[in-house]
Structure 1
Amino acid sequence: MSDANSILGHLRAVAGERQRRAESLDLEACVRALKSYQQQRFARTYADLLATTRYGAASRFFLEELYGPTDFAERDAQFARVVPALVRLFPQDIVATVNALAQLHALSEALDSAMATQLAARTVDRAAYVAAWQATAHPELREQQIALTVSVGEALDRLTRNPLVRHSLHMMRGPSRAAGLGELQRFLETGFDTFKAMRGAQEFLATVGTRERALASSLFSANLQDAVDEGRLCDTPLGQLP
């Protein structure tokens, strides 16, 4: 499969999840509630990094651009429009990063839909989240999700060391807006500038990988009673759940 077809295939998978949710008000509401809950969880898990000067912006980028209930349909549509040109004109490492990002997006949306179908109500609390996580299962896909997240971050970190990339992004600002690609342009510039400002993302990404894997492991092994017993959770990864 060509790079362009691979990227577009992932974007079509995301669009398919959106269509599936649009056909069911209950599923749409549950997905939004789930995403909101996961955004709150992320804010708790990385409260220490959010409070730092060095890692705060990167943590907020993950929180606002990759997590949460925000509808990225417009950005995805703009993204799909430029894929053929991107694959034709940009270096392979950038194309590979875009492909990994699209794959992560598709996988995360599929897992969110699967979890949302396990929710009994449009509200999410700790016990409901743990139950839905365990019912959805697929530990291998959860590991892939974490690995892709870290991989995309590592690629962005490498790209920030290339001054030509930032210069090219700056030169694209006017043409992108004129072509109706302003949201995609904003996302790319924000991601690039955020990772560049960290002056090295190795520690940040290692922290993300370690904490996400610890939480995933705890979620799979948790006893549901533990999920509602606040006193047992303080010193465990499950204590990060709202």
Structure 2
Amino acid sequence: MDKQQIIAELHRDLESVLAERQAARAFPEAYAARTALRQFQSDRMSRTHADLLEDSETRAAANFFLSDLYGPHDLSQRDTNLQRALPTIERMLPVPALAGVAEAISLDALSERLDAGMANLLGAEFSETGYVDAYRKVGTRADRARQLDHVDRLGAALTDLVGYPLIGKTLSLMKMPAKLAGVAHLHDFLERGFKAFEAMRKPQDFVDKVVTRERQIMDQIYSGKKKPFVLD
């Protein structure tokens, strides 16, 4: 995908995710339900990938995935700042970094839509059984597979970023311009992702492990396995 295609998708998905988050904030009960759902998902993933969180080589990358992709915190301000500063970002970032941002926002947009549907069914208090039932009812299996495709491509983009010539120095030099442009949070996202992946000898192996486990859980949910979050 070339730079212009990446930029077009970034604009589209950012508008979508901002609309979903604004809608959730307008209704306190919906917002509380969404936050509870995200917390459940983050806690579950912490258990599924406990070994990656405990391993000194993969700990930073695992924390990055859990906090920035599946954490319960509200990223509305980040995305509002990102939308305002898009022209600057498009000029400043190399293609691998821009691709990573675009994949993160695409994942956000799809996850927000699916989470909103599940939160509407579940409310702020629910059981694991209720979660699994809502997971099957909201969206399609193809939607869930696309979520994991975005995770896979984001991991690949960060892996490519590690191999980009002088990218560490470039990100360091961008810190002040990013702050002045109002996108310090975005710069922090990229720099933490870069450093976490740079610390691993085989970053793609880490991504493959996460995605493979999550695909197995997805398959087990749809196949009706009694304990779908328990991996063989």
Q: Same fold (TM over 0.5)?
A: yes
Q: Is the Cα contact below 8 Å between 1:37 and 1:124 reproduced in 2?
A: no
After TM superposition, give the deviation of residue 79 of structure 1 in Å.
1.9
CA distance in 2, matches of 1:138, 1:96: 26
After TM superposition, give the deviation of residue 89 of structure 1 in Å.
4.8
Bigger shift: residues 200-209 or 42-51: 200-209
CA distance in 1, matches of 2:81, 2:167: 20
The answer to whether residue 217 in structure 2 is matched with residue 238 in structure 1 is no
After TM superposition, give the deviation of residue 2 of structure 1 in Å.
5.1
Bigger shift: residues 145-154 or 169-178: 169-178
Aligned residue number for residue 141 of structure 2: 139
Q: 1:149 to 1:17 in 2, by over 3 A?
A: same
Q: Is the Cα contact below 8 Å between 1:130 and 1:222 reproduced in 2?
A: no
Matches within 5 A, 1:14-53: 14-53=17-56
Per-residue CA shift, 1:130-188, capped at 9, x if unaligned? 11111114100100110110111011011111242221110011222233322222111
CA distance in 1, matches of 2:51, 2:94: 36
Unaligned runs of 5+ in 2: none
Q: 1:92 to 1:178 in 2, by over 3 A?
A: closer
CA distance in 2, matches of 1:211, 1:56: 17
Aligned residue number for residue 150 of structure 1: 152
Matches within 5 A, 1:165-176: 165-176=167-178
Per-residue CA shift, 1:83-106, capped at 9, x if unaligned? 223334544443333322221111
Q: 1:19 to 1:74 in 2, by over 3 A?
A: closer
Letter in 1 for 2:205: E
TM superposition score normalised by structure 1: 0.87
CA distance in 1, matches of 2:98, 2:60: 25
Q: Is the Cα contact below 8 Å between 2:48 and 2:229 reproduced in 1?
A: no
Matches within 5 A, 1:184-199: 184-199=186-201
Letter in 2 for 1:117: N
- Describe the SS at the equivalent of 1:238: coil
Percent identical: 35
- Describe the SS at the equivalent of 1:116: helix
Q: Is the Cα contact below 8 Å between 1:14 and 1:109 reproduced in 2?
A: yes
The answer to whether residue 75 in structure 2 is matched with residue 84 in structure 1 is no
Moved over 6 A (4+): none
CA distance in 2, matches of 1:95, 1:65: 16
The answer to whether residue 50 in structure 2 is matched with residue 59 in structure 1 is no
Q: Is the Cα contact below 8 Å between 1:13 and 1:106 reproduced in 2?
A: yes
TM superposition score normalised by structure 2: 0.90
Letter in 2 for 1:238: F
Q: How many residues are matched?
A: 228
Unaligned runs of 5+ in 1: 227-232
